[in-house]
Structure formats: C-alpha cells, structure tokens
Structure 1
C-alpha cells in the first residue's frame, strides 16, 4: 500500500521553491539538489567573484531568510467559538497570534489567493513595537501577565533606540520574513499597501524592491498626518526639523498584471483640505462665451473664442459644399456642443472637435492623497484606541485595487481592525462580497491607558469588539433604510458582519508513525484518543488542523456532521471527509464510498484499524476501488490518507 500518511509539516517551502526552479531551469536541479554553477550558467554567469553588488544588507539578513523557510513546528489554529459571530455562515476570519506564525500556517491554504493586503506595521519610532527575542527565554508568570512573554515562553522585547544597538536591524529582521510570506499569499494580480513614516521608509522601499521586485513598485501615496501639536523643538540656532505633516503608503504588486482601478476625488473635499487648496478645475469664466446663441453658465469651452468662431465658419462652409456631413453638431444646451474644424486641404477627416467641458465635482486621484488624514481623533463606538486608521483611507485603498467585489483582503497588523470595518462598510454600500482576514498579536494594553481601564486587556480584544459593534451598526442602518425605502430603489442587503476567531496554539495531534511504536506496549489501543490526540483537544480543533495541511482550502468553509455514518464523521467544505471514528467497519466503508457528490479526500485514524495491518490494507484497497467506480469519468484525483 502506498504511503498515505498526512504529513506533520504544513509547508515545505524549500522543496516547493526547488520544484519551481526546476520548472524554469531543469539543468540547475540534479538528483533533487541545486547545482549553483549550472544555475549561474543559465542566468549568463555575469557575476565575478569578489565583485560587490548593490543590495540592502544588515546583520541577521541570512537568518531572516532561513526563518521564512523553517517549518511551523507543533503549531496550529484553534477555533474560538465563544468569541466568534455568525460562525456557521460568515466567511470572515480573525486570528490572534504572532503574525509570522499565522502567515506560515495560512500559506498552504491561501497560497496565491489574497487579492489585496494592507498593513500598518510599527513605524520603529523607538518604543512602538515588540518582537520575539529568540535569544532570551523567560517563564516568569508576571512577565506573561504583563504581555512580555507569550504562553509558549517567547520573550517579547521592546525595540528601543536607547538600549538597542541593533535598532534598525531588529525592525528589518521582523519585517523581512513577514513580507516574504505575504508575497506568496497574493494572487498574480494582487497588491500590497504598506503604511510607513520617515523612520524606516527608505529601508522599507529597498526591502520591498528586493522581495517584490523593483519593477513591481507602483506608487508611494502621500497621506496627511493629523497635526497633534504645533510645538517645534528648537536647536541652539534654529529648528531641528519642520513638523512632519505627511506619511507614505508604499504600493507593490506581485506582478505586472495588477492594474489600479480609477477612483474619483471630490473637489469640495480637496478645497477643504489644507494641502490641496491650490487645485483649479475645468470651470473658467473667461472660457464661457456665446456660440450659436448659447452661453454656458458653468463649465467652459475647450477652445478660445477666436478658434471656435473659425470652427463654426468651417462647419458652415462644409455644409454648403457637401450634401452628406460625416460629423454631427449638437446645439442643445444640456449636451456637448461639437464643431468641425476642417484641415488645410478641406477634406474634413482630420479636423478637430470643439466641445463644452461640463463642470463637475470630481477629478481622478493622483498619488497625492493629502485630503485624507492617516488617523482619526474620535473613538469608534466609544472603544478607546490610540490613533486608529482612518476608515475612509482604507476604503479608498480597497476601491483603487480591485474591480471585482468578491475578493479576500488581508491585514496582518490589524490593530483596532479598521480594515475589517472598511470592508463591511464598502460591502454595505455597493453590495459587494469582499472577505477579510485580520491578524493581531494579543499585545497587552498599557495599564494607564483608557483601553485598559475600559476592560480591554489586549489589542485583539479591542479589534474584535470594534468589528462586532461596527457590524451591528451597519445592520441597523440598513434595516432602518429598508423600513422606509425611497421610491424606485431596491431594498439593501445586510453584508456579512460575522467572523470566525482562531488563536495560534499548540498542536492537537500526536504526530508519530505507528510503525515506530515502542514494542514494549507503552501505547495502548484501549484509549485511542489519548493515543492520537493531545489531552483537551476536540474534534473541531483536529479537523481544522488537518485542513491546514491541505491545499487551497479556506478556513471559512463549513463543517458538516454526518450522523448517518457515525458519531465522529465530518465533511469539510463538501469535499473532505474526516473520519475520527475509533473503529472502521465494512458497512461504514460502503456508506463512505457511495457519498454523492463524492469527496475528493478521505482521512482516517490509523488507530481505528487497531493492529490489524491487513484489515487496513484491504479496507484501503476496497475503498479506493469503490471510489474509482463511483467517480466514473471524473478527472479529479481522489485520495485516502491517515493520521
């Protein structure tokens, strides 16, 4: 029987990369090993030994690269039903945990599946982010309570300028593997937006050039920072610096196939903004004059009066000399007046067109978004949070990045969950079906903060509560509108305002091979759950952990309990049969093989076959035979696997 054990490892990034390289350069991979010399020859071998190259280097870069390729170990995502909302129907996901671990856990399921990523990472101002210090270990309970040590013993260190000579290095080591993994999740036409200020803007730009490719840099969007204070620190002979009034959003696509969607900017909002009062639109009084008895009250003519009068004369001349006129003239006041301007040869085909430019209230956006503030002062739903991102900013980003409205949007520095709020709000306005994945480290709130005093012990609690309240407000507004709709307008649909909550945790499954069991009998089939699973695990946790090891299976899919087959048999996403029964019978196998539609994968417990290897082999072959018979002409690859 073939080896159908489910692998413990969620990702095999090194092997995946090697296979991808082999597809491009077959001669560079020999016997499963990379031939560096052959690869250089494929690429032209222009590099000479000892020649320096232009690249961003820092202490620890090689280790940061290794971290990307390291497995996730004995980690999984556990479903938290009590914190979730509308879990049976929602397609939205909220995950608590270190985003590096989360990105690794999501990579296999969401590879090439995320259309847009927005992140607002720590700006590295001197005390604004914590990171896992792998060189220090601590198990002090007080440290855990204060949020300096995770439940798994990893010490969270503040990255401060005063006591850390590796200030920029720590930030780069934190960002590199996360961005590298994020790129894997993006669709081929996907895009990432990254908010940043001047502290690390230059380093981030070079880092993204390396990870995403310099040719995939799309824009650096300028946004307005909220002015907190007008005080300026003075040096002995003048200013140390001007007040920093802006921040940047770096935009990188995964490939050249990404295209921005054009969005309009309302002029009144521009004029109200301090930064864009210089704007001048298409509404010049000097370009409004009479033609054929019509003088526009707003807008302007494209040409000056003298040129326009020449066009009229040319048109009249054309009309008097030709019976058929290949061009139209519109003289109605509410339309675009057009006039033919004949060329020198009098043919008319190369003539220009004079028309009236209607005055409007919008213009297309540029990379200058200084009419929008980065953050907002007010509290959302009385939930205290310092400097939450402006929901309008995130909405504009989303609208600029996608034509379709049925995409997945990821934010793995989600903070107060502004991105989730923006997604729900946009869906309510344009009837979209966007889904979000929010990821947030449950970093403790400061004991002196308003959030802590209000009962929010960590940032993740703030984010989840905001999503709940924002969703309910959106639902209430739609229901109020639908109770008294305007004449001729359709009723609005309440968008998906629910979310499933997961937390990074230790594995639920004891990953070992039955063939390597100790012959002394220390493992007993009398208690199969203690044999296969970690104490305290439940079937739902186990199902999600198995699903994390599949390809392209979303965590938002539904779990169906198949009571007609057994007490612990489930169907995930309608395609994956997870049988956690402690004993397999021939009758059960017959039922499983006759399911319609036929699942594409069947997963059983090794222990369910006890120590009867021949029974397992016979059942496996019989099930495969029944599956193939039932599948008919199907080209789907069906599998039977074991844990």
Structure 2
C-alpha cells in the first residue's frame, strides 16, 4: 500500500516533469546525494533542442537581477515538511464556512496550498511590507547579512567604515525586498486561475521593481496598469512630497481575462437627488435647472467624484443628460438642413456634417433625444443620459481619504489598534470591477488587519455573491513592534496589546486580524443572515510525522521500535486529517463529518470525497474495511499502525478493488 508523501510539493520536480512532456529525450534519471533515484534534466540535450533560442553566459538580455535571486528561486521550488493544524476554538462556524485563515509565514502557506488550490484562485491581493530601509518580519534565511551585502556592494570597507552616504537607500535593502517578494509571487502564479488577477499595493520605493519582477514571473503582457491612490496631504519630504500610493494590476492570461473591468460611477445618488430638488423648484424650466446645476457642481472640489460628472448639467422629462458632439467622423459625411423647433430655421451645422443620415436624425428628434440651443444659431447636440452611462472603466486615479478606513476600524474595535489599514470599501469596489462573483476565491497573503478579507464579505453583502477568501498572516509579535514604535504608532500598538490581553488572546498581528473578522462578521449579520461570515482557522506547524516517516532506511537496529508509531505524540486525528487533505490536494473548506464505525472514529470529507480512519490501537480489521468500502469513497486513508495485523494491511487494497474499485487507498 502506497504512503502519502506528507510534505509540500517539490516544484523543481514538477517543472522537470513539464519539460519531459515537451522534450522526453531531455529528461533522464539520476541518483541524488541521498542515493534515491529522481528525475533530472540533461541540459546538453536540451541545448540541442533549443540551439537557436538560448541566452547564456555574459550575453546581454532584458532582465531584473539582484544578489540573492538564485537562492530566492531555489527557495520557491524547495519542498517543506510542514502542515496546517486546525484551530476550531479560534474559528467561526468551523464546520460550515468556506473561508480560511492561516496563521504563519506566507511563503510556507503558499507552498502548502499548491496541491489543493492549484489554478483555483481568481484574485490574489498583496500588501507587502513597504521598503523603508529596515529589515523585514518576512526575513527568509537566504537573504544576505547586512554587513556582507554592504561590503559586497562597496558601501562599507572590510573594517566596517562607511564608504557612501545614505546606505539605507542602497542595494542591500532593495535586494532583501526583491528576495522576499520573488518566491511568493512565483508561488502565487501557480495558484491563480487562468483568468486570475494579481493586485499589489505598493509605494514609490519598490514600484518600478515590482512591475519588473511581476512581468518576469507572469509574462511581458501581464502588467495591465495601476491606480494612483491619492490618500495623503502630507508635505514633509524633500524634492517631491509623495501623497499617493499605487495599486498595480497583473493578469495571468489576457486571452482568458480580456479586461472588461467596469465600475459604477461614484456620486450618482447625490446628482440624482440634487436634480430632483431642482425639478421640484423650477418645474419644466430646463434653462433654470441648467443654471442651478452648474452653480451646484462648482461647490465640489476636483477630488470629489461628483465633480467628475459636472458635464451632466441638463435635464428633461427623461432625466439628467449632457449634450454630446453630433458631428460625423468624416468631413461632409451627412450634410442636410435640420430646422430649429422654435425658429423653424435651419440650425448651424457641425463642421464635419451630421453623424446620422436624415431618417435617423428625424427619429431621434421625434423621440426628444436631440438637444437644441435657444435658437438656430447654435449647433444641436445629442442627449447622453446619465442613467445610460452609470458605469465606466476602472479609472487610474483615485482620491481616498486615508483616515476613513482607520476610523471605521477604530469604531469596530472601540479604539485604534492598527496603523494605516487598507480601505476595505475600495478593495470591495476593485473586486466588483474585476468580476469577483459567485464561488470565486480571493487570497490575501499579507492579511495585516484583515481589510482585504472583510472586503470579500462587503462585496457579497452588496451584490449577493458567494466569494470566499484565504487569508494568511504571520503572528508578528506586537511587543517586539512596540520596542521600535514611536509617537502615535506606539500608542496604537499599546492599545492593541491591551485589547488582546483583555480577551485572553496573544499579542500579535494575526490575532488582530482574526478579532476583526469576528467583529466585522457580527456587524454584517445585523444586515443579513444569509452570508457566510465565518472562517476556518488553521495554523502552520511542523509536520505531524516523526523523522522516521521520511527516512526509515536510516534507522539502526536498536531504533526499529520507532517504526511502531511514526506520528508525533502531541498530534490529534484532526491534525492528521488536514495534512492528508493537503497531501491529496483536497479543498480545505469541505464539510467534515466524524462518525463511529465499529467503535472507531472515521472522518468523512464532503460525503465520499475522502474517508479517514486514524485508529492506532490495531483495531482496523477486515470487517471495518468492508464497512468503509460500502460508502465507496473516492479516497481512503489509514494509519500504518492501525491495522490488526499484516494480513489485514495486505488485503485492504483487494477488498476495495472488489467492493469499491474507484477508491484510491493509501496510508500514513
């Protein structure tokens, strides 16, 4: 009976298998350092296959390079022996929710998600630590040490003396940031669906590098634009005071996602309400309404969305409109007289002639869709109604009050507990614009306070969708953050530590995020009870399996007894189940039912997707196996130490072949 591997996917081997599919003669077998036979690439043969398209050595090519790139790529591909352990007591609606919150390092989480979510994520949101010239919480082991990189780049001498000024702005910090983000985006690409979207919040320090690294991973055509987010009015920097951030967009496949991204214009309700007031005051005096509307629009600053629709300043019985150009695309296309409805004289014609032929123009005039001036001396215009143009393409400039999201979060918690949270309502609108809808999955790999996760619920509540989320957040220690925090940030961190302490929760960022989700879920339930506002909380931990599971051949004779139980003593059957789900690539949110069969606990995942019995007392006999086979699960897994004897273990596969031939049988 085959054993589950019980570690994350080895992406290097997966890549080799893809090469083998394309060039079977270029892949062979070779012995690894541990003596095991594995697939290997014959690069000499591959060069011959691609002889006209190879760039190597010092040959110039377009690329982004930095110290640590090779190690970052290796880190992205290397497997890890980790698992996700369920934390049902920290979850909300654990048994029914489709949302997942993972506590732990996001690089490890992304590796663990490769099997169950490969090609399934519609949108990945990334709000990475901005490069401020400081070390990162996400400091992966391969990044170069500070002094080593400063010496390598010539910023300090061997004696540690600074050779250049302003070292924080130099190479090491860019290299560290790139080495941090590269493997994460590399793994994110695997998880995205063919029509998937990557959305990244970033400031000016790494904006250019982000675009370069994104196009390298996703492809030259993947970058589709960005939003410049005006969210500050600070004036405290030399040269140019940066008052905006960027939200950068990449798509995995333009053919699958042609970019029909639209959004409803902001401020429409204010406009409709204002014109209703003008109509009430002036009746059918359209000229008076036009004058009032123009004066009203002037009261708004250019940053207000209402101001962007100021050209909609006319009204008739059919609604609010603006007069658009009625001239033809070509000179003299349609030339004829159009009489003014009051003076009965021919109106002034546009320079290029009319856009419509005579019959079409007569129809539009009869329907009241042509705007005439006070007399025939002005060129008529075509009425374009606001109700027919309420949507627009996703625009590249946004004005967002950076304090609004902080105020809403402070109201939710009762006080400020997080600095500069992202705006969940802006993210909700982005999700809607790019087409997140029923059943789509949004993944946020740097969840922070949970803005991007709450935004999924806000989207569902606003349009009746059933989108799901996967949030990942490392348990960043707030007490450590407090040591370097200053001013308002120090007070806010103190507030968070005290608030979490009162609730008995550890003082870390992951706990802030989970608590925000609980509170936000309660608020949404006040509006509607039909939404899934729960989350299944999971925590990254070392593998459930003892070292002997991965290398039984290395045991000495005196250690043979370790083979009796190859699972760590502190792990529960639920822990084992979730590692099996990961290994077998099964959705982590499927419903789980625990049943008793012959007094043995058996887990059934989503009916018959998977059945698991982790009995370790040697109680799994042929009768129990036959009972499980009657359920005809697609997959079944047993604990190696759970079989009554070796005869039962040998017969298991035969029993399933007879009673349930569709079942795949494995053990741990």
User: Which band: TM-score by shorter chain?
Assistant: 0.7 to 0.9
Query: What secondary structure, in the 3-state scheme, does the structure 2 residue paired with 1:476 have?
Result: helix
Query: What secondary structure, in the 3-state scheme, does the structure 2 residue paired with 1:549 have?
Result: helix
Q: Deviations over 1:283-321 (max 9, x none)?
A: 366xx9xxxxx99884244456999983569xxxxxxxx
Match status 1:107 vs 2:114: yes
Q: Distance in 1 between matches of 2:240 and 2:124?
A: 32
- Structure 2-normalised TM-score? 0.75
Equivalent pair of 2:68/2:142 in contact (CA under 8 Å)? no
Query: What secondary structure, in the 3-state scheme, does the structure 2 residue paired with 1:471 have?
Result: helix
Query: What secondary structure, in the 3-state scheme, does the structure 2 residue paired with 1:124 have?
Result: coil
Residue 321 of structure 1 corresponds to which residue in structure 2? Answer: none
Q: Deviations over 1:569-627 (max 9, x none)?
A: 211232111111232212112211111xx211111122223662x44223322222221
Tell me the CA shift for residue 564 of structure 1. Answer: 3.0
From 393, 397, 403, give the equivalent of 1:369.
Answer: 397
Tell me the CA shift for residue 374 of structure 1. Answer: 5.5
Match status 1:215 vs 2:251: no
Evaluate the alpha carbon distance shift between residue 276 and residue 425 of structure 1 in structure 2; reply closer, same or farther with a 3 A threshold. Answer: closer
Equivalent pair of 1:121/1:195 in contact (CA under 8 Å)? yes
Residue 10 of structure 1 corresponds to which residue in structure 2? Answer: 8
Q: Distance in 2 between matches of 1:30 and 1:374?
A: 56
Q: Distance in 1 between matches of 2:326 and 2:168?
A: 64
From 310, 321, 331, give the equivalent of 1:299.
Answer: 321
Q: Distance in 1 between matches of 2:58 and 2:135?
A: 39
Query: What secondary structure, in the 3-state scheme, does the structure 2 residue paired with 1:266 have?
Result: coil
Tell me the CA shift for residue 225 of structure 1. Answer: 2.1
Evaluate the alpha carbon distance shift between residue 565 and residue 42 of structure 1 in structure 2; reply closer, same or farther with a 3 A threshold. Answer: farther
Evaluate the alpha carbon distance shift between residue 241 and residue 278 of structure 1 in structure 2; reply closer, same or farther with a 3 A threshold. Answer: farther
Match status 1:541 vs 2:575: yes
Equivalent pair of 2:621/2:643 in contact (CA under 8 Å)? no
Match status 1:568 vs 2:574: no
Residue 32 of structure 2 corresponds to which residue in structure 1? Answer: none
Tell me the CA shift for residue 550 of structure 1. Answer: 0.9
Tell me the CA shift for residue 242 of structure 1. Answer: 2.2
Equivalent pair of 1:222/1:247 in contact (CA under 8 Å)? yes
- Structure 1-normalised TM-score? 0.77
Query: What secondary structure, in the 3-state scheme, does the structure 2 residue paired with 1:171 have?
Result: helix
Query: What secondary structure, in the 3-state scheme, does the structure 1 residue paired with 2:569 have?
Result: coil
Evaluate the alpha carbon distance shift between residue 52 and residue 431 of structure 1 in structure 2; reply closer, same or farther with a 3 A threshold. Answer: same
Equivalent pair of 2:133/2:169 in contact (CA under 8 Å)? no
Evaluate the alpha carbon distance shift between residue 403 and residue 558 of structure 1 in structure 2; reply closer, same or farther with a 3 A threshold. Answer: closer
Match status 1:504 vs 2:510: no
Query: What secondary structure, in the 3-state scheme, does the structure 1 residue paired with 2:523 have?
Result: helix
From 383, 408, 412, give the equivalent of 1:356.
Answer: 383
Equivalent pair of 1:261/1:403 in contact (CA under 8 Å)? no
Match status 1:54 vs 2:62: yes
From 14, 38, 42, give the equivalent of 1:35.
Answer: 42
Evaluate the alpha carbon distance shift between residue 311 and residue 617 of structure 1 in structure 2; reply closer, same or farther with a 3 A threshold. Answer: farther
Equivalent pair of 1:219/1:367 in contact (CA under 8 Å)? no
Match status 1:431 vs 2:464: yes
From 442, 445, 463, give the equivalent of 2:475.
Answer: 442
Q: Distance in 2 between matches of 1:219 and 1:421?
A: 25
Equivalent pair of 2:262/2:391 in contact (CA under 8 Å)? no
After alignment, is 502-511 or 262-271 more displaced? Answer: 262-271
Tell me the CA shift for residue 117 of structure 1. Answer: 0.8
Query: What secondary structure, in the 3-state scheme, does the structure 1 residue paired with 2:597 have?
Result: coil
Residue 292 of structure 2 corresponds to which residue in structure 1? Answer: none
Residue 189 of structure 1 corresponds to which residue in structure 2? Answer: 195
Residue 363 of structure 2 corresponds to which residue in structure 1? Answer: 329
**Structure 2: segments with no counterpart, 5+ residues:** 30-38, 144-165, 271-296, 329-333, 341-358, 373-379, 483-489, 502-506
Query: What secondary structure, in the 3-state scheme, does the structure 1 residue paired with 2:12 have?
Result: helix
Residue 123 of structure 1 corresponds to which residue in structure 2? Answer: 130
Tell me the CA shift for residue 40 of structure 1. Answer: 4.0
Larger helix share, 1 or 2: 2
Tell me the CA shift for residue 12 of structure 1. Answer: 2.0
After alignment, is 51-60 or 403-412 more displaced? Answer: 403-412
Q: Deviations over 1:159-213 (max 9, x none)?
A: x965996211111111010110011110011011000011111111111111111
Residue 376 of structure 2 corresponds to which residue in structure 1? Answer: none
Evaluate the alpha carbon distance shift between residue 163 and residue 247 of structure 1 in structure 2; reply closer, same or farther with a 3 A threshold. Answer: closer
Query: What secondary structure, in the 3-state scheme, does the structure 1 residue paired with 2:649 have?
Result: helix
Residue 633 of structure 2 corresponds to which residue in structure 1? Answer: 599
1:352-431 correspondence to structure 2 within 5 Å: 355-360=382-387, 362=390, 364-373=392-401, 376-378=405-407, 379-381=410-412, 382-383=414-415, 384-402=417-435, 404-431=437-464
Q: Distance in 2 between matches of 1:119 and 1:217?
A: 15
Q: Distance in 2 between matches of 1:212 and 1:467?
A: 31
Tell me the CA shift for residue 328 of structure 1. Answer: 8.3
State the superposition RMSD in angstroms: 3.5
Q: Distance in 2 between matches of 1:211 and 1:590?
A: 49
Q: Distance in 1 between matches of 2:61 and 2:142?
A: 31
Q: Distance in 2 between matches of 1:357 and 1:408?
A: 38
Number of aligned residues: 550
Residue 243 of structure 1 corresponds to which residue in structure 2? Answer: 241
Equivalent pair of 2:611/2:637 in contact (CA under 8 Å)? yes
Query: What secondary structure, in the 3-state scheme, does the structure 2 residue paired with 1:310 have?
Result: coil
Q: Distance in 2 between matches of 1:616 and 1:587?
A: 12
Residue 642 of structure 1 corresponds to which residue in structure 2? Answer: 667
Tell me the CA shift for residue 326 of structure 1. Answer: 9.1
Q: Distance in 2 between matches of 1:250 and 1:430?
A: 25
Evaluate the alpha carbon distance shift between residue 165 and residue 559 of structure 1 in structure 2; reply closer, same or farther with a 3 A threshold. Answer: same
Q: Distance in 1 between matches of 2:622 and 2:394?
A: 67
Equivalent pair of 1:265/1:365 in contact (CA under 8 Å)? no
Q: Distance in 2 between matches of 1:296 and 1:583?
A: 78
1:508-527 correspondence to structure 2 within 5 Å: 508-510=544-546, 511-512=549-550, 519-520=557-558, 522-523=560-561
Evaluate the alpha carbon distance shift between residue 594 and residue 443 of structure 1 in structure 2; reply closer, same or farther with a 3 A threshold. Answer: same
Residue 342 of structure 1 corresponds to which residue in structure 2? Answer: none
